[in-house]
Amino acid sequence: LQKRSLIKECSPGLWDSSAAGHLCTGETYEKCAHRELCEELGVPKDVPLTRLLDLQACVDTGWEFARVFRCEDEGPFILDASEIDQGDWFPWSHIETWISHRPHELTGTLRCVLPLIHAKYK
The domains of the chain, with CATH numbers, are: 2-121 (3.90.79.10)
Of 26, 25, 47, 52, residue with least CA distance to 37 = 47
- Which candidate, 96, 93, 99, places its Cα nearest to that of 14? 99
- The pLDDT tens digits along the chain (122 residues) read 999 999 998 899 999 988 888 889 999 999 999 999 999 899 999 999 999 999 888 787 778 888 999 999 998 999 999 989 999 999 989 998 999 999 999 998 889 888 888 888 77
Q: Are 105 and 93 in contact (CB under 8 A)?
A: no
What one-character DSSP code corresponds to residue 19? S
pTM above 0.85, yes or no: no
